[in-house]
Structures are given as structure tokens and as C-alpha cells.
Amino acid sequence: MRVLLTGAGGFIGSRLARALLDAGHEVRCAVRDPARVAPPLEAVAADFARDHDSAAWLPRLAGIDVVVNAVGILREQGAQTFDALHLKAPRALFEAAARAGVRRVIQISALGADEHAASGYHLSKKAADDFLLSLPVPAVVVQPSLVYGPGGASAQLFDTLAALPVHALPGGGRMPVQPIHVDDAVAAIVALLSTDAFDGRRVALVGPAPLALVDYLGELRASLKLGRALRVPVSWGVARAAAALMERLPGALLDRETLAMLARGNAADASDTARLLGRAPRAPRDFIPPQQRGAARTQALSNWGLPLLRWSIAAVWIVTGIVSLLVYPLEESYALLHATGIPPPLAPPLLVAASVLDFAIGIAILWPRRRRELWLFQIAVMGFYTVVISFRLPEFWAHPYGPMLKNLPLLAAMLLLWQHEEP
């Protein structure tokens, strides 16, 4: 069959494109940049942010047998809105597919896009699903649960949560989830091209059985060979406050809407999934194959460990700047500067300059831009401080609190973070 696939650059879409080719289908990808699509895939230019007229989709459907819509976003950004990408563009595409007489439309929606939907994500998906099923065209709405797989946002979020030494979850993490591996989800979608048994229906794609979120994290943690985590229940109010804070951070995977979607649970009957696959779907304990465990473990630990290290170093600079100028006795600070060879008249302005510099470095670490250069600058500044004090105040190396020895792990941490920052 000839398939028009949207969202071919996404987590599910990219895998689906390969699986469709492997199954012997011809695939035309509707993407914003056709130059990025390599043969044997075909490509046609399309932009869900603006292609909201069905007439624009008709030429792209010439010779197409099946349409698969895999476009989806978890958070809005600029022109990438739920209304544009989840509703207006799919509605235009589905209407054009009905007019073009395609043999089937497969809409990849989400479990939870139902009459109880409350989030913008679920409501926009449900509206498009309802519109498609009202059209005179054979159609299936696929509703995956949490989809796990390398490179996926869900896998990154839950691997990171699993790798934390403390699992602080609202309600003790008892909300039900039923995650499915991306390979199973893709295989089930490909199978829908060869059967009309599910036409006109919503089909849940889920793992073999529901389990509590805290147990899902435990399964992932065991796969990562990390041992047991400390489980600490927290109130929903605290969880919502934390999500509100996190959603302000660049690239954050958790926000209040995501938390609300988790709160309502994410489980369904697995019989349709098993019927499409011809077997039971993969269980969470088997999501991470042995050959991938080392890389997955390193990534999961880095996802929370590196930010924690970054924020800790920022706190060191900020607190040092404040304490040096506003808390520590000024006369003692001037005496230390004098001992390093600074003339008394220059001590006050140099103390102010050094304190402001320390504070500014700490604030700059929290800013996401050009941090790679900033780590090198910090290494230079701390290295300068270390050399001057080593020659002028060597007694600090023998201090029982180790004020100079602490510079060594800090320099090592800065070097590590410099290596991990993208150019």
C-alpha cells in the first residue's frame, strides 16, 4: 500500500516509517523539510501549524491508500499549539482523505482522550478523534498509553524518576499506569493496515497489565541495576507546586498538565493490543534489554545528577559572593587581602568587585545560554584564586575544614560539566 505518514520525524513516527517500509509499504512523509527525508521514503512539504485547509492536502493524497497521522506535542510552544497541530490540521487532513477516497485513516491519539478528558492535550486529541470517526471514511483511532523506548520523552522522564534515590510521589504513587514499548506500539499500528476489524473504533495500545506508578518506577530501577529507592509519599498540593516550578525550566519534562494526566491514571484492556500483535505485549521489566542497560543507566543518572551538580556549584558562587560582602567581618576580609599583597587602599574596591563577580557567576550558571564558555571561565577564576592563596596563604591547605582542598573536587566538577555542555 501507499501510505501518507505525518509526524515522520517524531518518536513514534520515525520508527513507524521504517516499520512500514520493512512491511513492504511505500511511504510518503508529509514534513516541514522534505530535504531531510532520505530514499526510499518519499517526501512532500507540509506544516501542521498552518495547513488548515483541506484543499491544501488533496494534492498530497494523490495515489495514497492509507493515511497515518502521528503528529503530536506534549507542550505548546509558539505556533506549535494543541489547537493547530492536534485539531485544525488533522481535521483538514481527514476531510481531504474522505474526499480523496483513501482506504483507511489511522489517527494516533492518546489514552485518556475521552469523555473524562480535562487537559488541553487530551481535549484537542479527542476533538480530532471525534471528527475523524464522524466522517464517511474507514478510520481507526489508536490510543497508546505511556510509550517507552530509547529517545522518547516518556522513557527519559520515567528513567530519570526511577534513577532518583528517593521516590517522592503524590498519593504514594498508587495511580495506575500501563506503559507499552514503542516497538509493540509500532507493530500494532502496522498491523492495522492489513485488517478492517477495528474500523470505526478507538483502540487502546497498552502493556500486558496495569501497575501502580511507584511499581513501574521500581521495575525500571531494577532493570537499571540501581537497587531499591526510598519511597516517600507527598501531598498533591506539594506535587502541583513542584510541577509549577519545573514547567518554568527550559526543557522540563514535567508540568502541571502532565501531572494531572498521571493523576487520573492511564490503563485499559490489553486484548486489542494482544490481538494485533498476535502475542502479549512486552512487560515493563523487559523494556530495557541487557545490552542497553549500561547506557540507559548512565543517561538516567546524568539526567538528575548533572543538574544537581550545576545548581550546587551555582549556590557555592552565589553564597560566597553574599557572605564575602555582607556577612563576613570586613576587617578580616581586608586583612586576608593585605596578606596576599593587596595594598590597603585597594582592598575595599577589590572585595566588592570579587564579591559581585562571584555572585554574577552563580547567577549566570542558572542561565541556559553559553554555559560551555562559562565553565572554562570559572575554572580560570578558581584556578587563579587557588594559585594566589597557595603562595600567599599556604596555611589554608592545612586547615582542618579544607577550604583549599575543596577546590579540587569543584574544579573536577566544572571540567565534567564543561565536557557535558553542548557547544
pLDDT value at residue 242: 83
pLDDT value at residue 252: 64
What order of strands is seen across the sheet that includes strand 139-144?
42-45, 26-31, 2-6, 66-69, 104-108, 139-144, 201-205
Looking up cell 521500581 gives 218
C-alpha–C-alpha distance, residues 94 and 67, integer Å: 8
DSSP state letter for 350 = H
Ranges in the chain, pLDDT < 70:
249-253, 369, 423
Question: What are the backbone angles phi and psi of residue 107, rounded to the nearest 5°?
Answer: -105, 120
Name the 3-class secondary structure at 126: helix
* Neighbouring-strand partners of residue 98: none
Cα angle 306, 76, 18; round to 5: 80
C-alpha–C-alpha distance, residues 303 and 95, integer Å: 42
> Which among 165, 179, 173, 108 has a CA at the least distance from the CA of 142?
108
For residue 267, the one-letter residue type is A
In sequence order, what are the residues at sequence separation of 6 or more whose Cβ sits closer than 8 angstroms to the Cβ of residue 19?
Answer: 186, 187, 189, 190
pTM: 0.86
367-414: pLDDT as tens digits: 876 778 899 999 999 999 999 999 999 999 998 998 899 999 999 999
Name the 3-class secondary structure at 122: helix
Strand 211-212, strand 176-177: pairing:
antiparallel
Looking up cell 543507566 gives 297
Is the previous residue joined to 34 through a cis bond, with omega within 30 degrees of 0? no
Burial of 423 (0-12, 13-18, 19+ CB in 10 A): exposed
> Which among 138, 135, 33, 61 has a CA at the least distance from the CA of 91?
135
H or E element at residue 187: helix 182-192
pLDDT value at residue 154: 83
Domains of the chain listed by start with CATH number:
1-144 (3.40.50.720), 304-420 (no CATH)
First to last CA, the chain: 43
As given in the structure block, the three cell numbers for residue 17 are 516509517
pLDDT value at residue 251: 61
Looking up cell 577550604 gives 403
